[in-house]
């Protein structure tokens, strides 16, 4: 869908804040928690329509957090930094490993508008017809649809946690009229929640979406001024290919200098220049094999 944008909506300072009562209200019943998740999702919808929010970057960073959660559900210990390394430091011919494959699946999901074809690219082990059938398993309101899809996938393929959560988020996005999948459920659900069914799973999903929508709004508020600052300093960059490099930094969670459209030395110097200008951060804390991002 196309979001309506007021005249002032390009200013990161105008990002609407999540109402305090959404997080301060204690709710126990399914009806009350559903009300709070609806309010949180509606507020997130407004934020996603804000021009100042670098939406591709936001989705990519949320994808990293979703992947970390899914890797944890599978019993593995890789955290955010290790997942970044597993994907961004791959050399031609290298395999990303199980954790890296999970992260790549989430990244592929958020890159393109949600569709059966896009989901099939992200989940190549699944038949597109099966993906479509699972998405059709969800009925009624958006969160109920997402919960039903998750329950159906995990009932039929009990260990397919990542696939079930990806498809649940896809069902949620479709129900809300969003063009792209926004990873929300995985990072806020617990492993035990994935074994729940019916109203218990719906309640867990509503609670997770309150938490994850609040976090997505907070992350949007953090990224919007960072993106604005990077755009503001971009005209100071003289290197050929700097514009394309800036665009990559505005759309990706992390970037290795070797992937930028510049010679290696020039790419490293550009990244160091952007760090000096306060426009990007070095994300690893290392002296070599560095990664950069907002």
233 alpha-carbon distance from chain centroid: 26
Q: Degrees (nearest 5) of the Cα angle 72, 75, 81?
A: 45
Same-domain pairing of 245 and 167: no
Number of domains, the chain:
2
Residue 24: pLDDT band with limits 50, 70, 90: confident
Instruction: Tell me the pTM.
Output: 0.92
Same-domain pairing of 124 and 259: no
The share of the chain scoring above pLDDT 90, in percent, equals 83
Q: Give the C-alpha separation, 278 to 126, whole Å.
A: 43
Q: Which of 167, 201, 223 is the last residue of a domain?
A: 223
64 SS3 class: helix
Q: Give the C-alpha separation, 280 to 227, whole Å.
A: 9
CATH of the domain at 248: 1.10.10
Same-domain pairing of 55 and 151: yes
Residue-number span of the structural domain to which 255 is assigned: 237-293
Same-domain pairing of 155 and 268: no
Same-domain pairing of 91 and 154: yes
Q: How many CA atoms lie within 13 A of 149 on its CB side?
A: 32
Q: Is residue 286 part of a domain?
A: yes
Q: For the packed helices 55-73 and 198-233, what is the interaxial angle rounded to 10 degrees?
A: 140
Q: Which of 223, 248, 269 is the last residue of a domain?
A: 223
96-122 pLDDT per residue, tens: 899 999 999 999 999 999 999 999 999
Q: Is the pLDDT score of 139 beyond 80?
A: no
236-269 pLDDT per residue, tens: 888 788 999 999 999 999 999 999 999 999 999 9
Same-domain pairing of 40 and 111: yes
Same-domain pairing of 101 and 246: no
CA distances from 160 to 18, 166, 190 (A): 33, 10, 15
Q: Give the C-alpha separation, 56 to 86, whole Å.
A: 20
Q: Give the C-alpha separation, 271 to 293, whole Å.
A: 9
Mean pLDDT of the chain: 92
Instruction: Specify the pLDDT at position 16.
Output: 79
Same-domain pairing of 211 and 282: no
Same-domain pairing of 32 and 107: yes
- The alpha helices in 89-160, defined as continuous H runs, are 97-111, 116-122, 128-135, 142-156
Q: Is residue 267 part of a domain?
A: yes
Instruction: Specify the pLDDT at position 13.
Output: 64
Q: Is residue 7 part of a domain?
A: no
Q: Is residue 10 part of a domain?
A: no
Q: Which of 192, 223, 254 is the last residue of a domain?
A: 223
287 alpha-carbon distance from chain centroid: 28
């Amino acid at each position: 869908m196309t979001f309506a944008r007021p005249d002032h909506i390009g200013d990161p300072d105008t990002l609407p804040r999540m109402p305090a009562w959404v997080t301060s209200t204690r709710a126990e019943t399914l009806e009350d928690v559903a009300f709070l998740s609806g309010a949180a999702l509606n507020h997130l919808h407004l934020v996603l329509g804000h021009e100042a929010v670098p939406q591709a970057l936001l989705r990519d960073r949320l994808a990293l957090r979703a992947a970390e959660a899914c890797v944890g559900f599978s019993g593995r210990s890789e955290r955010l930094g290790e997942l970044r390394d597993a994907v961004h430091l791959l050399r031609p011919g290298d395999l990303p490993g199980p954790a890296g494959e999970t992260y790549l699946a989430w990244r592929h999901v958020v890159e393109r508008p949600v569709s059966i074809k896009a989901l099939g690219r992200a989940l190549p082990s699944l038949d597109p017809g099966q993906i479509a059938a699972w998405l059709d398993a969800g009925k009624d309101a958006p969160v109920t649809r997402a919960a039903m899809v998750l329950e159906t996938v995990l009932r039929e393929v009990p260990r397919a946690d990542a696939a079930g959560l990806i498809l649940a988020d896809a069902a949620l996005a479709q129900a809300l009229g969003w063009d792209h999948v926004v990873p929300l459920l995985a990072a806020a659900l617990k492993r035990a929640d994935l074994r729940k069914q019916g109203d218990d799973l719906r309640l867990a999903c509503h609670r997770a979406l309150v938490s994850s929508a609040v976090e997505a709004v907070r992350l949007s508020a953090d990224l919007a001024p960072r993106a604005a600052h990077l755009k503001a300093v971009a005209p100071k960059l003289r290197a050929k290919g700097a514009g394309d490099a800036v665009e990559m930094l505005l759309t990706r969670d992390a970037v290795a200098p070797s992937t930028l459209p510049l010679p290696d030395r020039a790419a490293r110097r550009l990244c160091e220049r952007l760090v000096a200008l306060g426009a990007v951060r070095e994300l690893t804390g290392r002296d070599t094999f560095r990664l950069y991002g907002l």
